[in-house]
Amino acid sequence: MPLLLRMGEEQAPMSTTTPDPAEGEPKAAAADEPAPRSPDTSDRSRSGTGYDTMLGRVLVERGFVSAEELQECLAALAASGSPGTLPEKLMQEQLVTERQLQRVRSDLDTDRASQHIPGYRIIKKLGAGAMATVYLAKQVSLDRLVAIKLLPRKFSTDAKFIERFYKEGRAAARFNDQNIVGAYDVGQAGDQHYFVMEYVDGETVHDRIAKSGRLEEGDAIEIVRQVASALQHAHEQGFIHRDIKPKNIMMSKAGVAKLADLGLARALTDREAAEAEAGKAYGTPYYISPEQIRGLREIGPAADLYGLGATFYHMVTGRVPFSGKTPNEVMNRHLKAPLTPPDHVNPKLSPGTAQVIEMLMAKDPSDRYRDAGQLLEDLALVARGESPSHAGHPADLAAVAATIAATTPAEPTEIRQHSGGAPVGLIAFLVVSLLLNVILLVVTLVMASG
């Protein structure tokens, strides 16, 4: 099955990724980097100009070369009088690889282009991935801080990536919820496509897990409550997110959770997209739902609830629900392996929270919460120390037995014999016993699968 996995903001073929459970998400392996290319004439035209100075500065800042090594290469180039370029010299001395140079070139090009977005003043880079670079900027007209996401230049002529980039902006613009990162503008400056959004001054849930190992139960419940509220709004607007994970939940310094990255969001009514994406798995392996893995056409809100459940699990246990050496192995376990109950991993966890997580992560969508509203009801109960009303309620055997006994005739008490048959009382006893055993078996199976 074709596979499109999210690596932070990047997507890559399955064969080029290796999971890193400590990080909670797969990291792109070396094979995910662009194929090497020979230095071109643009490098030669830049040699001896300010570009070499900028390139050298970034290489030193990133630790690829030392300041001394850079100066030696520049001095050697100047002394030789040859038309060689700084990148060629650095590779000749085996100080950097072509892939490293290509990444730095791409970032430099993006940095330079980002300085020319009308109405905005770039302040600093916030982060970068294969699919986008994000900057902190000031919107001059309103004197406010914003985040600007730029599509890498290598995708600036790719209609598919451009459409996906603008689709994210359009989807975000449909939402008006305090727990979803707001969208302000999308546009193009020259050949640079940009998306302006709300700036969240804080960290991601992934950052918090990395720092503390796992979150306190009460804190995790509150974060999940806010994200569930965001999902309720998004689903009511007819959209599914399809990539719920710790890295896509921003936390402001005021403690407000903000759902971010709508790059995979899809309208529930978008039949054309559903057909085009059928048979492909979109999402992040550690948090992806079974129906997304199967590439089903009918992907609904339940997929987001599963991703939120996997995120909840990671928050309160400090580990992802399923791990493996490859994305394929991880996803196969989502499909087939039983979930280790979260309170078995973290014995301090309350039974109510464990039950909520297990219901969220049911493999069959029909066994999960009907919608985010039901989840919010249970989270409110669990936060108060009460039992959830929708999750974790197997049939009460004693009550069932009492009901059956009440409907079984009490008289006559003596054993009556049918002509040529078994005693009536014995038959009644066997029937009741059989029913109780069937009920016990069903309940056991339900609890085991939950």
Please report the DSSP string for 278-333 in residue order.
TT-EEE-TTT--HHHHTT-S---HHHHHHHHHHHHHHHHHSS-SS--SSHHHHHHH
Averaged over 113-120, what is the pLDDT?
74
Query: What pLDDT was estimated at residue 27?
Result: 36
Would you tell me how many other CB atoms lie within 10 Å of the CB of residue 425?
16
Q: Which two tokens stand for residue 408?
A: 């079984």
Distance from C-alpha of 251 to C-alpha of 259, rounded to nearest angstrom: 9
**Domain ranges within the chain, ordered by starting residue:** 3-9+34-109, 115-198, 202-383, 397-449
| Residue tagged active-site, from 243, 261, 343, 378 | 243
CA-nearest of 159, 161, 30, 164 to 102 is: 30
Alpha-carbon distances of 369 from 362, 364, 375, rounded to whole Å? 9, 11, 6
More confident of the two residues 42 and 448: 448
pLDDT (tens digit per residue) in 383-423: 999 999 999 765 444 444 444 444 444 443 333 344 444 45
* 243 has catalytic annotation: yes
Beta bridge pairs of residue 148: 135, 196
Structural fold of domain 202-383: Transferase(Phosphotransferase); domain 1 (1.10.510)
Question: For residue 245, which of 280, 276, 273, 282 has the smallest C-alpha distance?
Answer: 282
d(CA 433, CA 415): 17
State percent of the chain over pLDDT 90: 42
- Which of helix, strand or coil describes residue 346? coil
Give the other-Cβ count within 10 Å of 230's Cβ.
26
Does residue 21 register a pLDDT over 60? no
Binning pLDDT at 50, 70 and 90, where does residue 234 land?
very high
Q: Name which residue leads in pLDDT, 106 or 410.
A: 106
Average pLDDT over residues 175-191: 89
**What is the assigned CATH class of domain 115-198?**
alpha beta
Per-residue pLDDT of 298-343, as tens digits, reads 889 999 999 999 999 999 999 999 999 999 999 999 999 999 999 9
Q: How confident is the model at residue 167 (pLDDT cuts 50, 70, 90)?
A: confident
